[in-house]
Amino acid sequence: MSKRRIAVYPGSFDPIHNGHLDIIHRCRPLFDEIIVAVLSNDEKQALFTVDERVAMIGEEIANCSECRVESFSGLLVDFADKVGAGTIVRGLRAVSDFEYEFQMALMNRRLNDHIDTVFLMPNEEYIYLSSRLVKEVFFMGGNLKGLVPPEVLDELLQAVDRRAAQRAGQ
Ligand code: ADP
């Protein structure tokens, strides 16, 4: 039997948006198993908790039988090794992503030469999309239709309510 091709798709996913989902969709013909891995090192800056992000992603990949979501902390190559993944998938949007991604890919290869990084490009309509921009546009009242799934839009609305309640309680 040939070896299962397992990929890890890591990121902050705060929150997941259609650019991320486009990349996950592009992974499907390439891998037997796709593990979306939510980095949990940096919770303080995030809008959503790691558990909330994992739950949102779980909902969006529910129809993909070969996809699952997990959170991880520490070195990505250690997580990839633990789950038996031979590939790290990253999305490349623009030239501006390249330098950082290039550094990370080479550092990860130095840390573990058995794991390679592959880059996939999203549909052009998502090339400018980032979680940071999603949050900025949302908090300024912009229309995010077609850029995030409807469930994520609901979660953003709830996050606003939570913030307002927190402020009122202060
Ligand atoms: P980071 O890892 O910088 O926190 P994100 O969580 O936003 O990044 O994204 C996780 C992965 O998805 C990264 O590989 C990132 O390049 C990729 N990605 C983010 N936004 C898009 C997009 N609009 N199209 C394609 N790939 C994207």
Averages of pLDDT over runs of 10 residues in the chain (170 residues) are: 90 97 98 97 81 97 97 97 98 88 97 97 95 94 94 92 76
Residue nearest to atom 24 of ligand 1 (CA): 19
Instruction: Return left, alpha or beta for 2; rule: phi > 0 is left, psi -120 to 50 is alpha, else beta.
Output: beta
Spatial strand order of the sheet with 33-39 comes to 67-72, 33-39, 6-11, 87-91, 116-120
Residue 125 domain boundaries:
6-169
- 129 CA: nearest ligand 1 atom: 23
Q: Please tell me if the CB atom of residue 40 comes closer than 6 angstroms to any atom of ligand 1.
A: no
Predicted pLDDT of residue 68: 98
Q: Please tell me if the CB atom of residue 131 comes closer than 6 angstroms to any atom of ligand 1.
A: yes
1 found inside a domain = no
41 found inside a domain = yes
Active site residue 82: no
Predicted pLDDT of residue 44: 66
Structure tokens at 61: 């990949």
pTM of the model: 0.93
Residue nearest to atom 10 of ligand 1 (CA): 11
Task: Note whether 6 and 31 are within 8 A (CB).
Answer: yes
Q: In total, how many domains does the chain have?
A: 1
Q: Please tell me if the CB atom of residue 15 comes closer than 6 angstroms to any atom of ligand 1.
A: no
96: enclosing H helix or E strand: helix 95-111
Active site residue 40: no
Task: Note whether 11 and 38 are within 8 A (CB).
Answer: yes
Predicted pLDDT of residue 94: 82
- Report the CATH number at residue 24: 3.40.50.620
92 found inside a domain = yes
149 found inside a domain = yes
Active site residue 17: no
Closest by CA to 38, choosing from 22, 26, 25, 56, is 56
Task: Note whether 64 and 28 are within 8 A (CB).
Answer: yes
Q: Please tell me if the CB atom of residue 7 comes closer than 6 angstroms to any atom of ligand 1.
A: no
66 found inside a domain = yes
